[in-house]
Amino acid sequence: MNRPAHILPVIIFSQFAGTSLWFSGNAVVLDLQRDWGLGEQSVGYITAAVQLGFVGGTLIFAFLAIADRFSPRRVFFACSVTGALANIALLAAPESLSALLLLRFTTGFFLAGIYPVGMKIAAAWFEKGLGRALGYLVGALVLGTAFPHLIRSTGAELSWQQVMIGVSILAAVGGVLMLVLVPDGPYLPKGSAFNPRALAIIFRSRSFRASAFGYFGHMWELYGLWAFIPIWLFAYSEMNDITLNVPLWSFLVIAVGFFGCAVGGVISVKIGSAKVAAVQLTVSGICCLLSPIFFSADLTLFIIFLFVWGITVAGDSPQFSALNAENAPREYVGSALTIVNSIGFLITVINIQLVNSLLPLIGPEYIFWLLIPGPVIGLWMMKPLLRKT
C-alpha cells in the first residue's frame, strides 16, 4: 500500500503541538509564584495535577472506548482544541492555587485524547515499522513537553500570559492539521472493551511483569527530572554566581531526549527493544547517582552531563511501550496498556510530591538521588527480558 509522504510528518508535528500543553504550567511557574504569591512547592502541585488529570482521562477514555467508537483523528482534534481552551483559561482564572490546579487537571484530562490517540492514529498507517514510527512519536512528545520552556526563554519581556496563548494556539493548530490532513488509516486497530478485571490477569505473565515494572522504574525517574530541572538549573546558577537562561537550558535538556527516542527506535530494529531500554535506563540511573558531583562541576561539564541524562532518560520510553504491547496477553492488550499507563503516571505523582516535600530539607544538589530507586528496580525487574534476548 502506498502511504502518502506527508502522513508521518503531520502526525509527528500534531503530537508535538498537542503535548506542548503538558508542561506549559511549569514553564511559567516562577512568574505565577511572583505574581500570584504562590509558595515554593507549587511546581510539584502543578505537575501532579496534570498527571492526575491524564490518569483520569486515560481510564475514562478507555472505559468508554472513545477512540474505538469515534474516528481517532476527530477525537485528537476535539481534545487538542478543548485542552488548548483549558490551558488559555488560566488568563481569566482567579489568582489562586486551587483555580490553577483545577485548570491543569483539566488540561491533563484532555491530553489523554492526544498522546495515546496519536499513537493509535500512527498504528493505523504503519503495519510494518511501527517501532521506528513510535520512536519519532515519543520524541515528538518530548519536544512538545520542552517547547513551553523555549517560548519562555525568548526574552524577559515575554509575559506568562503570552506563553500560555502561544502554546494554546500551537495545540489547536496541531489538532486542525491532524483532522484535515490525516485520514483514518487502512490498518486502524479495533480495540477490545476495557476490562478492569484484567488487572488480576495481566501480571501473571512473567514477561509482562518484567516490561511493566521496567516501565514503572523509568517513569519514576523521567518526570521527576523533567519537573524539577528548572529548579536545579536555577540553584546551580545561584551557587556558582553565574547567569543562566534557565528556560532555554530547561528546553534543551528535555528536548535532546528526542534523539534518544529516534535513534533508539532505529537501533532497536537490530538488537531489540529490551537491550536498548536497558542500556538507556542504566546510563540515566548512573546520572542520578552522579548528579551531586556534577552540581559542583564547571558549566561545560555540567551541561554535557545534563545532555547525556536528557537523551537517555527519555530514550527508553518508546521501547518500553513496544515491550508492553509485545508482552501483554493478546486478549487484554488494550486493557493491559491502559492499566500500565495509568499506574505509571500515578507513580510520577507520588515521586513528584516526594521530591517536592523533601526539597527544602535536603537541598537541590541531592534531590535527584531520590530518583535512583526507579532505574535500579526497573533494571532488576527487566532481567527475564534480557535473558530472552
Domain 1-182 has CATH 1.20.1250.20: yes
pLDDT over threshold 70, residue 128: no
Superfamily of domain 196-389: MFS general substrate transporter like domains (1.20.1250.20)
* Short-list 24, 366, 363, 331, CA closest to 195: 331
pTM score, two decimals?
A: 0.85
- Give per-residue pLDDT as tens, 51-109: 999 999 988 888 887 877 788 899 999 999 999 999 999 999 998 999 999 999 999 99
- Give per-residue pLDDT as tens, 8-25: 899 989 999 999 999 888
1-182 with 196-389: one CATH topology? yes
Question: What does the DSSP assignment read for 292-350?
Answer: HHHTTS-HHHHHHHHHHHHHHHHHTHHHHHHHHHHHS-GGGHHHHHHHHHHHHHHHHHH
List the chain domain ranges.
1-182, 196-389
The phi, psi pair for 360, rounded to 5°, reads -65, -20
The three three-digit cell numbers of residue 263, written as one number: 535513534
Cell 510528518 locates to 9
CB < 8 Å & 24+ apart, contacts of 164-169: 164/24, 164/28, 164/87, 164/88, 164/90, 164/91, 165/88, 165/91, 167/20, 167/21, 167/24, 167/84, 167/87, 168/21, 168/84, 168/85, 168/87, 168/88, 169/84
Better pLDDT: 130 or 287? 287
Give the Å distances, CA to CA, from 151 to 46, 104, 171, 249, 257.
Answer: 19, 19, 14, 12, 18
